[in-house]
Structure 1
Amino acid sequence: MTIRGTWLCSLMLLGSLGCAGLRPPPEEPALAVAPEVLRADLHVHVTMRAALGPLFQGEPGDGVLAGSHAERFVNQVDAAALRRAGVRLILATVWPPPATRPGRSALGEALHQLTELEAFTRRNPDFVLAHGAAEARRKLADGQLVLIPAIEGGEGIQRVEDVDLLYAAGARSITLVHFVDNPLADAADDQFGAVVGGLANGRDGGLTPLGVDAVRRMIQLGILIDVAHASDRTIEEVLAIAGPAGAPLLYSHTGAGWAATRCLSTPLAQRIAEGGGLIGIGLFRSPFQEVPLSERWEGFQPGTCDDDVAHWLHYARQAGPEAVMLGSDFSSAILRARPGGACAQGLRHTGDLPTLFSALEAHGLSRDTLDNSGERLLRLLEAVERRADPSVLSSARNLPIPRDDLFLDRGEHSSGQ
């Protein structure tokens, strides 16, 4: 099957549940956190409407918020709710959809989605962009809710110079692969289960020669490399390059290795943590395999946020609690925890995060570990930035950004970040 065909099948599968009617955000209890609390989320789609268009309803700030865990194509992100949860630093992930728009390449789509993220912050003053750790620290000190631009999927990278363009356009983290293999690397197999996933599975390999060069260029630019969705061999080969270079990695959103092949194995989680990297726990409900009995507790309710707590605890035990934090994947079209267990309302949107954090604390994670995840992300960004090559950075920063878009004059361009 072609990549485009696989993408379309995937969207049809995800869209089969549809979405319920829209409603304004519900009133949430005032759950105060101390001003010094700085939590992070490693994977949030704040501009999914820009990617999916009419298939997706709402965006932060427009008064539309999912009212139940089943509303998968409705905005799930609210600035006030994030503040109540203490989440003020976010890797804002743009998803370049398949190149089905005439006149726009995969690279053009990625650049377009980064532009959409900039436009979102201009019309929504609750959020600000930061393009490095120092800028993020300054804006956080001013009390702002900070977004670091990230891209999910390197399909647009057809040559190593394309990494420079994405950096110039603002990207500070790049997920090498998504649901299918691309010019950079092999993606994890069976990401939609054995039946549908079999249609998407490609080569059994790791990094391509271009992928090797792209990883090295990302390190030279101080781009945080995200190995979520990658095959084990891909992750091993990225570690073999990044480790000697002193560049820690990110696995932005996952569930425990028992859940599905797309999830991060325990040995690789340990290696990422040992290298100073971070692992984000995605708030999704696996339709393929339940949490093993050995990982449950008395009163455990499968399909609720108890699953997410179990996944978090698993990685905290295996890789260390400081290496694990939230990677919610909010505002993506995935299954979420239904009501019950530790979360009476389920995990509908960011307003339910305080309940999740309380459940994690009740199961033994320290408040300090939960509350300082933002600082740990800042330190990770700083560690990656220290590996950058000043000459490569200087060249990339001065690049003009091409606008590969059917609806814009092909002669238009914008200056780099």
Structure 2
Amino acid sequence: MALAAPPIQDNAYAAALALLERAPMIDGHNDLPYVIRLSRTAKGDVAAYELGNVHAETDTDIPRMQAGKLAGQFFAAYVPPNHPKPAGFALAQIALMRDILSRHASVFRPGLSADDVEAAKAEGRIALFMTIENGSAIDNELDALDAYYGLGVRLMTLCHNGTHDWCDSATDAPRHNGLTAFGKDVIRRMNKLGMVVDLAHVSHKVMHDVLDVSSAPVVWSHSNAFSLCDHPRNVPDDVLDRVAAAGGVVMATFVPDFISQASRDWHRPAKDQYGKTPDGMDYKKAEADIAAKAGPRPKATLAQFCDHLDYLARRIGHDHIGIGSDFFGGAVPEGLEDTSTFPGLIAELIRRGWSEENLEKLAGGNTLRVLRAVEQKAG
């Protein structure tokens, strides 16, 4: 993976840097803990990974997060679908994030509330929010949510690419026609605790079910507009039309197949009917076979990503959109190659005529509003 190309040094880029000096930039989803765990050299050892160095082979490290002007970062404790010991896996990822906080205390502060983002911004640090990506991590025990909250977890993505015991996934066969009765209890407990409900990865029916149940605003931490790219992980219009009334936020994501319809269509031969890679498939070979027949994979671009933001702003309003990169060491769009590129994203929107007020909402203001609303609903 190449480092991001130097940004266009124009008035818009200078204005973007100035805006991010005063307004907090928050990224709603990044899989760095899993990248460290999979690293062939570090093997999950934060010290061995040397997060203070630039890692050109992937997309996230301290120098580039600082260059990206981040004030808040949601890191995921990802749990693979159908993992036999999901709670243990999640706890190991949480321990890894706590180690990041301990070893790099001059860079990160614990993200436990909206106030921590503003404090981090004032200190020149980054508020690190711990999240769980896949509700199977609670092992069907509501009280596990309380324990995770006690460890510092402030958001949970209800499922991942597989349907589990109480939640249908967007990229798997449905088993429950949405959310089960227990799943609805999960939402109520998360509301009571003050833990953000994340609908990235859930089926479209689950999105509706949660909006029917939740007493607090919800987020999509890394999803785009289904009308522009028909990946099942993206949010359809009938759900988007409920977001504003619910006070929620859709955090647009950098995943190429969620941005570009051409990229998604190119990949279809390597995906099952639900849009995910079948178990056991040699993905690199499958992509090589597609390229031999159809030519190189179409690129997703910063401009196409901004098209999603423009669409979402028109459909649900500027008060209800954010950014959730989903950097995970994989494919990235041109212009959004790593965590240093957030100012370039803001600059592109300035060129499109976005106001400073709306840019500040997108960068972090809307996410802070949701965090505060979730906190206020707790108890």
TM-score (normalised: structure 1): 0.71
Aligned to 1:70: none
Distance 1:248 1:188, change over 3 A: same
Q: Structure 2 CA distance, aligned partners of 1:99 and 1:114?
A: 19
Does the 8 Å CA contact 1:173/1:223 hold for their aligned counterparts?
Answer: yes
RMSD over aligned CA atoms reads 2.9
Secondary structure of the residue that 2:328 maps to in structure 1?
A: coil
State the partner residue of 1:278. Answer: 249
- Structure (1/2) with the larger helix percentage: 2
Q: Kindly state the Cα deviation for residue 251 of structure 1 after the two structures are TM-superposed.
A: 0.7
Comparing 219-228 and 38-47, the one that deviates more: 38-47
Whether the 8 Å contact between 1:325 and 1:370 is mirrored in structure 2 is no
Paired with 1:188 and 1:221, the residues of 2 have a C-alpha distance of: 26
- Confirm whether residue 116 of structure 1 aligns to residue 99 of structure 2: no
Find the partner of 1:327 among 299, 324, 327. Answer: 324
Between the aligned partners of 1:64 and 1:81, the Cα distance in structure 2 is: 7
Give the C-alpha shift of residue 88 in structure 1: 1.0
> Does structure 2 conserve the Cα–Cα contact (< 8 Å) formed by 1:180 and 1:202?
no
Deviations 1:160-198 (A, max 9, x none): 111112112211000001101112310113xxxxxxxxx
C-alpha displacement at 1:105, in angstroms? Answer: 2.0
Q: Which string of whole-angstrom CA distances, capped at 9 and with x for unpartnered residues, describes residues 25-54 of structure 1?
A: 998889643531212111122322344343
Amino acid at match of 1:336: V
Structural mapping, 1:201-212, within 5 Å: 201-203=173-175, 205-212=177-184
Confirm whether residue 169 of structure 1 aligns to residue 151 of structure 2: yes
Find the counterpart in structure 2 of residue 257 from structure 1. Answer: 226
Q: Tell me how far apart the structure 1 counterparts of residues 235 and 72 of structure 2 sit (CA, whole Å).
A: 23
2:24 touches 2:117 (CA, 8 Å); kept in 1? no
Query: Unpaired segments of 5 or more residues in structure 2?
Result: 265-297
Deviations 1:239-294 (A, max 9, x none): 1111xx2x0011111121031121111221231222111111101212872399xx
Q: Are the counterparts in 2 of residues 39 and 88 from structure 1 also a CA contact under 8 Å?
A: yes
Equivalent pairs, count: 329
Paired position in structure 1 for 2:108: 127
Structure 1 position 289 matched with structure 2 position 261 = yes
Aligned twin of 1:196: none
Structure 1: state its 5+ residue gaps: 1-19, 67-73, 190-199, 293-300, 339-345, 390-417
What is the aligned partner in structure 2 of residue 348 from structure 1?
337
3-state DSSP class of the match of 1:253? coil
The residue aligned with 1:14 is none
Aligned 8 A contact 1:153 1:174 in 2: yes
Tell me what 1:45 maps to.
Answer: 31
> Are 2:65 and 1:82 aligned?
yes
How far off is 1:360 after superposition? Answer: 1.8
- 2:144 aligns to what SS in structure 1? helix
Is residue 266 of structure 1 aligned with residue 237 of structure 2? yes
Q: Secondary structure at the match of 1:206?
A: coil
> Distance between the aligned counterparts of 2:364 and 2:135, measured in 1?
25
Determine the structure 1 residue equivalent to 2:211: 239
Q: Deviations over 1:112-147 (max 9, x none)?
A: 211110101222232222212234433333232111
Secondary structure class of the residue paired with 1:351:
coil
Give the equivalent residue in structure 1 for 2:333.
337
Structure 2 residue corresponding to 1:188, chosen from 166, 170, 177:
170
